[in-house]
Amino acid sequence: MLEIIENIKKEIKKVVVGQDEMIEALIIGLVCDGHILLEGVPGLAKTTTVNSFAKSLGLGFKRVQFTPDLLPSDIIGTEIYDPKNNEFRIKKGPVFTNILLADEINRAPAKVQSALLEVMQEKQVTIADHTFKIDKPFLTLATQNPVEQEGAYNLPEAQLDRFMLKVVVGYNTKEEEVLIARRVATGSYEEIKQVADKNDIEAIKKEISKVHIDEQVEEYIATLVFATREPENYGLEEIKEYISFGVSPRASIDLYKGSKAYAFLRGRDFVTPVDIAHLAKEVMRHRLILSYEAEAEGISSDEIIDKVIKAVPMP
């Protein structure tokens, strides 16, 4: 099974240079039935990575560019009148796929975001009086551009909570940047081949379900989560004023599931506390609601999570 995952990574790396953390997050999201939020400036190969990922697995892929004038029917579909047959018929939207890339999701108004929310959470779409199930696997990858804020809508906390991981995509190294420029200028890209399918994904899921988590490690997950809700009980009085609301119960669930996948990707059949600490930021950073004091002082979610990880002893 690990060989399949390595083959997927190799195929993606035919066109994507670096960005290992983003690639691994996509794999974890897919095998854990979670959705991923990617945040980064334009030009960091987010769309290319997702497209390559879908091709390597032979999965359906659709991309929607979110804009302020987008309507819910533009993504889920609508009921249209067919004058030839004198009847209404359903025209399905781009969400009817396996991997949906919601580009610049924070540019769409609330109605569109709520329509996408049903698809992400319920894995179904309601059009007029009809409800349709979405094919499995279904993974939403949403991108946010942190630079441009004009014409952007902040995602509501309820929707952010639906994303399993939030990955902050950074710049490549200087060496990687040279390689990217060389590849693009010479057009020296290899063709991506399908190296896995839906059956392989299901087989990997079964293997991950067998990964063991010790009771002490389970307790560690819960302690990290509760330290964001009741920091004063864990010797973290100094960060209490910076937190309006701690992370939700979905953080515990996603940290539990994600850590099993993370351990599996490293060839282990058990989860260590280090696995939990490694994934904690990606699982929690979008779920931690900071206070005005934190924003005024320029304190980020990542800084708060770092303090929590440092304060809570590993088992």
What is the per-residue pLDDT across 33-70, written as a single tens digit (0 to 9) for each?
A: 889 998 877 777 777 888 888 888 888 899 988 888 88
Same domain, residue pair 264 and 169: no
Is there a single domain that holds both residue 112 and residue 236? no
Tell me if 278 is assigned to some domain.
yes
Helix axes 46-57, 20-31, angle to 10 degrees: 50
Q: Quote the distance between the C-alpha of residue 16 and its chain's center.
A: 18
User: How far is residue 37's CA from residue 166's CA, in Å, rounded to a whole number?
Assistant: 5
Residue 298 has pLDDT above 90, yes or no: no
Q: Which residue has the higher pLDDT, 75 or 106?
A: 75
Q: For residues 189 and 17, is the Cβ–Cβ distance under 8 A?
A: no
| Same domain flag for 247 and 287 | yes
Residue 30 lies in a domain: yes
37 and 117, same domain (yes or no): yes
| CA-wise closest residue to 116 among 173, 53, 68, 73 | 73
Cα gap 247→252, rounded to integer Å: 9
178 and 225 fall within a common domain: no
CA distance 157 to 155: 6
- Could you give the percent of the chain with pLDDT greater than 90? 25
The verdict on residue 127 lying in a domain is yes
Provide mean pLDDT across the span 149-153. 55
Q: Identify whether residues 272 and 179 lie together within a single domain.
A: no
| pLDDT-derived band at 184, boundaries 50, 70, 90 | confident
Q: What are the beta bridge partners of residue 100?
A: 62, 140
Strands 61-65 and 165-168: unpaired
Same domain, residue pair 97 and 74? yes
Number of domain units in the chain: 2
Q: Tell whether 200 is covered by a domain.
A: no
Q: Do the domain assignments include residue 265? A: yes
**Position 148 pLDDT exceeds 70:** no
- pLDDT of 261 above 80: yes
| pLDDT reported for residue 188 | 65
| Residue 149 pLDDT > 60 | no
Cα dihedral 8, 12, 13, 18 sign: negative
Question: What would you report as the CA-atom Rg of the chain, rounded to the nearest whole angstrom?
Answer: 21
CATH classification at residue 184:
3.40.50.300
Last residue of a domain, one of 137, 163, 195: 195
Decide if pLDDT at 182 tops 90.
no
Phi-psi region of 112 (alpha: psi -120 to 50; beta: other; left: phi over 0): alpha
Residue 59 lies in a domain: yes
Residue that is last in its domain, among 195, 228, 250: 195
Q: Is there a single domain that holds both residue 189 and residue 217? A: no
Residue 294 lies in a domain: yes
Residue pLDDT, tens place only, 195-237: 888 889 999 999 999 999 999 999 999 999 999 999 888 888 8
Based on the fold, state whether residues 131 and 254 are members of the same structural domain: no
Q: Is residue 176 domain-shared with residue 229, that is, in the same domain?
A: no
Domain boundary among 195, 229, 248: 195
123 contacts 133 by C-beta, under 8 angstroms: yes
Q: Give the CATH number for residue 255.
A: 1.10.8.80
279/252 Cα distance (integer angstroms): 11
Q: Domain check: are 76 and 133 in the same one?
A: yes
Residue 204 lies in a domain: no
pLDDT given for residue 252 in this prediction: 93
pLDDT at residue 152, as a whole number: 57
pTM of the complete model: 0.86
Say whether pLDDT at 151 is over 60: no
Statement to judge: residues 146 and 88 lie in one domain: yes
pLDDT in tens, 57-103: 888 899 988 888 888 888 888 888 878 878 888 888 898 989 999 88
Task: Quote the tokens at residue 18.
Answer: 């670096």
Domain of 101, in residue numbers: 2-195
